[in-house]
Structure 1
């Protein structure tokens, strides 16, 4: 199964669309068989879900994400696990152990700042 984790350095990024990179992880038989880091190619409605679908991603593991993005991902059959934070390797370990649990989106007002967009309110608030 192929997973995409929006990342910022060695940590899960709190903001799906404006993360600097995506860590793509292939897991088979509870083992990581491939791990690569891809630069975020851009942020616009529907673009990243299509990009990740074209990369063969089955599941996105993220901190914060809006309902529109979740809807686009689901249209491609991509599962979403939300509310995840911490170091990427720790998250992958929890995933393999079956201990990774989806929660509430971590997206907060201003979460897109410092990811190339200045704004006063996170677009994800209010279900966008």
Structure 2
């Protein structure tokens, strides 16, 4: 049996889209495959998505704790890439925007290529310049 974890948009599952982000995706869809067939699917919320710093490393640790041998995602930053590699987890990039099921089928057919390096680093949680106060509320400072 092979366990594949896919970064997923809400609500997760085979019909959800593969999220372009690994560390900041909302869910991980966990797919067990045996003899080229999907035998089990579960969805796990990504608790590291809202972490201000180090989300990639934390997400990699979560994926490892799920027993993943393969990760499929749209993009993975350098910290997550290094963490996944050191854990022996294979990484496949460029699947963002297609359904999780389609990504799994492409992986099983060999049409997804393994990542040779990380994608561009993420931007984290943003700079917080708006301070959560909105605009146009007539406030004077």
Give the TM bin, normalised by the shorter chain.
0.7 to 0.9
Instruction: Say if 2:67 is the partner of 1:56.
Output: yes
TM-score (norm 1): 0.78
Take 2:35 and 2:65, find their aligned partners in 1: how far apart are those partners?
23
Larger radius of gyration: 2
Number of aligned pairs? 115
Take 2:119 and 2:17, find their aligned partners in 1: how far apart are those partners?
14
- Consecutive unaligned residues of structure 2, counting only runs of 5 or more, are 11-15, 129-141
SS of the residue 2:23 aligns to: coil
Q: Which residue of 61, 80, 89 corresponds with 2:101?
A: 89
1:1-128 equivalent positions in 2, closer than 5 A: 1-9=2-10, 10-42=16-48, 43=51, 44-45=53-54, 46-85=57-96, 86-102=98-114, 117-119=125-127
Take 2:82 and 2:5, find their aligned partners in 1: how far apart are those partners?
16
Take 1:119 and 1:101, find their aligned partners in 2: how far apart are those partners?
34
Instruction: Check conservation: 1:83, 1:105, Cα contact below 8 A.
Output: no
Instruction: Check conservation: 1:14, 1:106, Cα contact below 8 A.
Output: no
Two-structure CA RMSD over aligned residues (Å): 2.3
CA deviation after TM superposition for structure 1 residue 68, in Å = 1.4
Instruction: Check conservation: 2:69, 2:88, Cα contact below 8 A.
Output: yes
Take 2:33 and 2:102, find their aligned partners in 1: how far apart are those partners?
14
Q: Which runs of 4+ in 1 moved over 3 A?
A: 102-110
